Structure 1
Amino acid sequence: MYKLLLCWRYLRTRWIALASVISVTLGVATMIVVNAVMSGFSNEMQTRIHGILSDIVFESHSLSGFQDPQWHIDEINRAAGDQIAGMTPTVAVPAMLSFQVRGQWVTRQVMFIGIDPKTHAQVSDFGRYLQHPANREQLSFDLREGGYDTIDSQNPTETPTRPALEHAGWPHRRMRVNRERLWKERLESKNSAENSPARSVDQQVDAMLAATS
């Protein structure tokens, strides 16, 4: 106990020593916090990258790829099959994508990636982020008749609900097609519509969806 009293009396009379102790304490605490944050960030980054890229990637120098990818897979399995968790063929080529936004065509350069939906889930975590349970169970990009996750499946207790996904899938696709058709009809009959007031486009879409449901 007397040691603490001596230290306290010494530090009370020598403020420079007290400031030095506080500075060293803050520096060590900052270093510990930064190391902990960077360690967590590094682990998270490695996990995310490992969920996208495989441990070993066999690439072809030709744009046409391997002539017989299944033969290569069989040969690799024959040589080291007991040490391999999964394999899948993938095609990645540069491509140009054109899409229409509000009546204007937009062209972008993209990387076109082709996968095998039956085996791609063995080497990637991509399927975990799909928004339909059936598509997560068997990797698929098919549209469904509803049933999409209104609550994030990754954090069901910490994320708010997403009511916009209640009509995702084919219902949203049909609603969009009907909306575009109604807009086209409205533009074509613009001159005649000025004489007789009509319902808004949203009201027409709602009425059509209610009639077809």
Structure 2
Amino acid sequence: MQDSGYRDRLGQLVEPGERLLAYAKAEAAHGAQPAAAPDATAPQGSVRVTAGGVLLNLLAPVVTFGPGDRLVDRVCWGVAGRGAAGSVAARLHRALHPPRSPGTVRDTLIAATDQRLLVCLTGAVKLFAWRADDERSLAGTRVVFAAARTEVAAARVGWHRLNPKRLRVDFTDGSWLAFTVPIAESGRPLREVAAALSR
């Protein structure tokens, strides 16, 4: 998909009178994330992180063990977000992971307007897609999260481990979430979003 297609679609998603300042195609950074909302169906009680549970997570990644997953994420990737279960960052992180069909992907777009921070997901597209599929995916782009500019405390792009292109968005409630682009891609769009959010 061409970048101009993203800009045109985002221009359709902003409110009347709202101006699109910058946008970037990115993904939520890997690593330990903000706290998830408690699952009402999960049994209550404390869960201990054991060496066996962590080893199981490393050897069989398809097996999920919450505390082990978080520890492996923290060791391998570091911290990619912080915040209590109801924080702005936690709500944003949850909005980025809707249910999806197996074998499909979505692109994440972060946009700064003169009034809001918008996070959008494109329509689902199959892994091996044709151009027509890409166009349908772009047409299916929708806003999954919006925050008023007053909720954004700061935004900056900097180094994290070996990646020099990680956007960290801090919110006024003390929570934060990070986004990255692949190493081979330019970090300029992320820097433009950070600059627009810092105005």
Q: Which has the higher helix share?
A: 1
Q: Is TM-score (shorter-chain normalized) higher than 0.5? A: no
Task: Output the TM-score relative to the length of structure 1.
Answer: 0.21
Task: Output the TM-score relative to the length of structure 2.
Answer: 0.22
Larger RCO (CA within 8 A; separation ≥ 6): 2
